[in-house]
Amino acid sequence: MKRVVMSALLAVCVTQTAVPAAAQTVSEQCFAIGDIAGQVASWRAHKKTKAQALDQAARYYPDNADRRTFASIIEKIYAPDAPHMTPDQASMALTSDCVKAQKRQE
C-alpha cells in the first residue's frame, strides 16, 4: 500500500512540473494543505518548537500567501488546546477542513 501511495505522489510531482506554472498557491490545493499538516505534526512529535516550525516555513516558502497558509497550519497544530495528532491524522483532518471550506465557497 505504501509503495502505491509513494508511486502516485511521485507521478503527481512529475506531472505538476510538466504543466505550465499557474498562479496557484498552496492554500488553493487541499492535498498540499494535508501534506503540510502531516509534516508539521511530525515536527511537533519530534519536539520541534513552534518558533522553529515558523522559521523553517519562512525559509522554504518564499511566497507570502504560502507562508501565511503554512503559519496558519502551524498555529492550528501547535495550539495549546490542540490534540497531539499523528502526521496521518493531521493530514486527513486539515485536508477535510480545506475541502469543506472550498465547497462552502462554491
Query: In whole angstroms, what is the distance from residue 19 CA to residue 22 CA?
Result: 9
Tell me the pTM.
0.69
Query: What would the pLDDT profile of 16-63 be if each residue is shown by its tens digit?
Result: 444 444 445 566 689 889 998 999 999 999 999 999 999 988 888 888
Contact between 38 and 95 under an 8 Å Cβ cutoff? The reply is no
Query: In whole angstroms, what is the distance from residue 2 CA to residue 96 CA?
Result: 21
Cell for 47?
A: 519536539
Cell for 58?
A: 519562512
On average, the pLDDT of the chain sits at: 79
Contact between 45 and 86 under an 8 Å Cβ cutoff? The reply is yes
12 pLDDT above the threshold of 80:
no
Contact between 29 and 37 under an 8 Å Cβ cutoff? The reply is no
Higher pLDDT among residues 28 and 8, named by residue: 28
Cα-trace Rg, the chain: 14
